[in-house]
Structures are given as C-alpha cells and as structure tokens.
Amino acid sequence: MKQLTLLERKKRKIYLSLICIPLILSWLAKWGIQFSLWGCPFIQWIGIPCMGWGMTRSFYAMAQGRLMSAIEFNLFGPLLFVGSIVLMLHLSLELLSQKAISTPFSSGCQNRKIGLFSLCLLSGYHFTRLVTLYFSGQLEIWVHQSHLGKWL
C-alpha cells in the first residue's frame, strides 16, 4: 500500500463528502425530515424518463429498510445504495490509514469492461421500462403533458 499524497487525500475527502450527502439525506428522511426534490427533468421537459428514473426514491426506500419498495422504484437503486455504503467505508479507511487500499471493489470500479457491461444492463432495463410505459399508455400521457408536448 502506497502512502496517499496531499492531493489524493483532498480528492478522497471531496468524494467522501459527495457520497455522504445522499446517505445523510436518506437517513434524515427516515426520521421524518422531508426534502423537496425536483423530479425528473426529462419527464418534465420531453415526457420521457431518463435512465435514472426512480433511483432517488429507490435509494430513500433502501435507507428506510424497504427493500421491495426500492426494487419497485428502480431495480438498480439497492445496488447503488450498497455500493455507496461500501465506497464510503473504503474512502474512510483510506483517509484514516493515509494509504491507498486496493480491493476487488476498487479495481472493479475502474475496469472499463465492467463499466460498459453495467451501462448495457442499465440501458436494457430502461428500455424495458419504456416499452412497458408505452404499452400502458402512460408514456403518451407524459409526452403530451411535458413542455415539449404542450409546445407541439
């Protein structure tokens, strides 16, 4: 394990701060402190949800211990939540030890093939959800209610 430079420690502190924000907000929501969220800008503007549609609600549901609700909101939400916890612990350990720690998780996060595979999985899942929305008629409603739909 190599010693972390000052710049590497600063970066890890920034990453840790950024990863802790959604975890803290989720934990506060568990105790009844609610935050106003903007909603999906893609649905609002063009009527089609983005690939992360439902991820925030899924993340919050996981923080509240509601696994089935989290899966219903977005299948990848629980994975994101667990990954965030693991990343938070990893960064904390690196900052405490002042050394770079190499794990299969950290190596996997930097592997392009794993990243591409994850993107393909997320894209396939999103496409399946869009097809389901289309056949249910919900997608057409959202498109007509969007800013673009009102303009057209």
Q: At what angle do helices 55-63 and 77-97 cross, to 10 degrees?
A: 70
Region 51-78: mean pLDDT is: 91
pLDDT band at 134 (very low <50, low <70, confident <90, very high): very high
CB atoms under 10 Å from CB of 3, counted, come to: 10
Distances (CA, A) of 74 to 33, 61, 66: 22, 10, 13
The DSSP secondary-structure symbol of 1 reads: -
pLDDT in tens, 90-119: 999 999 999 988 888 777 777 899 989 999
Written as six digits, the tokens of 107 are 């190596």
Taking each helix axis as running N to C, give the angle between helix 6-30 and helix 77-97, from 0 to 180 degrees, rounded to the nearest 10. Answer: 140
Cα dihedral across residues 125, 126, 132, 135: positive or negative: negative
The per-residue pLDDT for range 56-67, each reduced to its tens digit, is 889 888 988 899
Residue corresponding to tokens 């794990």: 103
Q: With cut-offs at 50, 70 and 90, classify the pLDDT of residue 49.
A: very high
- How far apart CA 82 and CA 90 sit, in angstroms, is 12
- DSSP assignment of 64-76: TT-HHHHHHH-TT
Are 70 and 62 contacting, i.e. CB atoms less than 8 angstroms apart? yes
The domain ranges of the chain are 6-151
